[in-house]
Each structure stands twice: as C-alpha cells, then as structure tokens.
Amino acid sequence: MPILPLPDPALLVLIGPHDAQRSAWAKAHFAADEIVALADCRRLVADEGEAAAAGREAVALLDDLVARRLAVGSLTVVDAPHLTPGDRQPLVALAKRYHLLPVALVFGAPDPAALAREGFRRVLALDTAQPVTLRREPLPPNRRDLSGPFDLIGDVHGCFDELLLLLEQLGYHLGERVTPPPGRTAVFVGDLVDRGPRATAVLALVMGLAAESAALCVAGNHDNKLLRQMQGRHVHLTHGLAESVAQLARETPEFRARVLAFLGGLTSHYVLDSGRLVVAHGGLKESLHGRDDLAVREFSLYGATTGATDALGLPVRLNWAADYHGAALVVYGHTPVAEPLWQNNTVNLDTGCVFGGRLSALRYPERQIVAVPALRRYAEPRRPFLPSDSQG
C-alpha cells in the first residue's frame, strides 16, 4: 500500500465535491476529534433562520474551531467541499497565522500549481480506489522524545581551544574522539562559525558528535549565512564570514561537502524533554515553539527585531524574553552579554567568547552554569557588552 507522508501537526484541507466519500475517507484515516466537518458545524447552527445565513454561521464556526485547534498545535483535518479558492483562502490564512503548513488533500486530479499559488505548501492527490497508509512525520524541531541530560553551549564562533576547555570542564573525554559523560548530550545554540580562529575544527568536532547522536545543534544566523555562501548565493563577507570562508578553503572538497550537508540540515530550533526545554539561537516566543515556517526560522535566527537599524547599523532588537511567560525553559544566544542572562524562564548563554568574554554552558536539568574565559580577544564587539569595555 502506498505511504503518504504528512507533517504533524499541520492543517489538512480536504478538497472534493462528494460529501459522503470525503467524510468516509476522513473518518477512516483520522481520529474523530481531529476532524472538523462543515456538516457538523451546519447541524449545530441551522436550527432557525434562512439557509444562507446559517451557511455563513456554519463556516464562521468551522473557522473558529480550526483556529483554536491550530493555536494549541493540534493536527486538524477540515472536511468540507472547498471547491473554490474563496472557500480555501481563510484556511490558508489560518495556517499561516499559526505557523503551520496548509496541506491540500484532493479527491481526483488536483492542479498543484494553482493550489501552490493559493498558499498550499503541499498538494496530495487521493484516489478512493487506491488505499493508502498515512505516515505522520513530526516536524524537525520536535525532539520531545529526548529528555537529556543536556549540556547546552553558547555561541562558539570558531573558538575551538575554549570549546575543548569547556568540554573538559563538563567532563567530556577528549581523545581521538570526544565523548560525553554517559547519557549526556551536547546542545549547541548555533553560531559555530565566523570571527574566531578555528571554525573548521569546531565544525568537525560538532559534526562528529552529531553523527554519533552525542550532540544537537540549531542554526545560528552566522551558520545560515555561511550556508548561503557555500550554496553560491551572494552574501557579503562581513561580520567574520571572511575568516570562515578562508578557513574552509584550506579543507578538502569532501570536508566542505560534509559542512554543506550539516549546515543545510540544521533545524530552526528544538523542542526537547517533553516540551520542557526549547533551544533557539535568537530565542523564540511561546506561540512559535514546535512550529516551523519562515517566520519561525527568522525569529529563531535573529530574535525579535523591529526591522529598523540603529546608529551602529545593527538591527534594533526587541526584548522578547521580557514578555515570555511560557512553561518551557528557552535557552538561546545571539546577543553577547557579560554574564548568562536569566529573564523569566529564558537564559542567554552567549557570553561573547570570541570578543574576549567567556564560553558558557548550562547543565540541564541541573541549571548549573559552567564557563571558561576566552584565551584572547579575537574580534572587537560593535556594541560593548563587557563591563571593562563600558568603563572605557
């Protein structure tokens, strides 16, 4: 039986004119409480009034139910004919508002290009004569199954020597290969590269650990920019990228291919430990946890910004952590601070090692900070963050 992979959670929009056929298929493939059916909504509101008004009420109820389910991140199947773009547009908008993928499941022969233009991110054709098995695929950030314990490590930026010292402090065995203490997993908050002296050694170490499931890493904005450079996209070799590019040029094509695959596979963020721990380079507000669209990726890479730049030409950042009231501990980096910064249930681990600060780690669930000082200052911060710099 053919297997149909489906992202979970997602908004699944059934498209087809035959009510009985569509509803039977939905009931055969999904739990009853995952299906929002227009027929049910119509029954609930159609006790009086004229038919057209009742129809509008039924659609409003359906949209409301879908919105509430997507807000909490539940996979939702919408069972209605959805024959015109106008029928489908409100659902595409809801999926976008809640940062989940809208998927069109079409009975008969769909027009994938037209549906893609409407905003559907995946279009699947269903043939009722041909049974299929649905396979639900968790979104890449979802590693709720991993419960740690973890050693979360702030922005490394090519500071390989300090990384080794930190790992030693954390009890890692440093031999031909680096091994964590039994049961522990390293989690890098991103920005492995740029500005520092040994980005390729950092990459080799983290890729090696990741290949043995001994480390996880989320994408940082610097990692992402290096990826785009390696993909041949036009990027400016600024903010320390030139150093990484020069270091990579001295490596073999095979190594560069591994780096390209590794950086290309980095996820925006991770949700770990049954949802109790979230890791994102720039931080992540609660409504985006576990979701994975462009807005989630932008927030994860750059944090919350106003879109404006300040007098130094740096993006104006918003203090999302001050407004964070989620239950999950959010561990992030990106903005150098003199000391790990705890704010509500978040902690910034970027203590600016490459700028002469420290490389910091958080042991989880112990909530214990372990840090090593930078061996030297490899780059000048554009915005001073160390007390000694502020004193002039």
State the burial class of residue 347 (Cβ atoms within 10 Å of its Cβ: 0-12, 13-18, 19+). buried
Is 194 an interacting residue with respect to Mn ion (CB under 5 A)? no
Tokens found for residue 144: 């709720």
Q: Is 243 in the site for Mn ion (CB under 5 A)?
A: no
Q: Which of these segments, 152-160, 180-188, 239-247, 319-327, binds Mn ion (CB under 5 A)?
A: 152-160
Q: Among residue numbers 361 through 390, which ones bind Mn ion (CB under 5 A)?
A: none
Closer to Mn ion by Cβ: residue 14 or 166:
166
Query: CB of residue 248 vs Mn ion: minimum separation in angstroms?
Result: 18
Site membership for Mn ion, residue 162 (CB under 5 A) = no
For residue 2, say if its preceding peptide bond is cis, omega within 30 degrees of 0.
no
- Listed ranges 61-69, 123-131, 151-159, 303-311: which one lies at the site for Mn ion (CB under 5 A): 151-159
Looking at 38-46, 119-127, 173-181, 190-198, which segment touches Mn ion (CB under 5 A)? Answer: 190-198
Using the structure block, give the residue that is written with the tokens 């995946």.
122
Least distance from Mn ion to the Cβ atom of residue 332, Å: 10
In the complex with Mn ion, which residue's Cβ is closer, 194 or 273?
A: 194
Compute the distance between CA of residue 168 and CA of residue 156 in angstroms, rounded to an integer: 15
**Looking at 5-13, 78-86, 147-155, 177-185, which segment touches Mn ion (CB under 5 A)?**
147-155
- With CB atoms as reference, the residue minimizing the distance to Mn ion is 191
Examine residue 155 and tell whether it contacts Mn ion (CB under 5 A).
yes
**Separation CA 186–CA 205 (nearest Å):** 11
Minimum CB distance to Mn ion, residue 377 (Å): 15
Distance of closest approach, residue 61 Cβ to Mn ion, in angstroms: 47
Rounded distance between C-alpha atoms, residue 178 and residue 172, angstroms: 7
Helix (H) or strand (E) holding 37: strand 35-37
**How far apart (Å, rounded) are the C-alpha atoms in residues 219 and 333?**
11
Report in angstroms how near the CB of residue 178 gets to Mn ion at its nearest: 22
Q: Does 191 bind Mn ion (CB under 5 A)?
A: yes
Piece of 54-62, 187-195, 245-253, 310-318 that binds Mn ion (CB under 5 A): 187-195
Shortest Å, Cβ 110 to Mn ion: 43
- Please spell the DSSP secondary structure of 334-358, one letter per residue: SS--SS-EEETTEEE---BGGGTSE
- Closest contact distance (angstroms) between CB of 245 and Mn ion is 17
Nearer to Mn ion, 155 or 243 (CB): 155
Rounded to whole angstroms, what are the CA distances from 383 to 154, 321, 390?
A: 18, 20, 10
Piece of 5-13, 185-193, 211-219, 245-253 that binds Mn ion (CB under 5 A): 185-193
For Mn ion, which is the closer residue by CB, 79 or 191?
Answer: 191
Least distance from C-beta 222 to Mn ion, angstroms? 6
Contact 120, 12 (CB under 8 A): no
- Distances in Å between the Cα of 223 and the Cα atoms of 1, 171, 271, 307 are 40, 27, 20, 21
Are 277 and 331 spatial neighbours (Cβ–Cβ below 8 Å)? yes
Helix, coil or strand: residue 70: helix
Residues that bind Mn ion (CB under 5 A): 155, 191
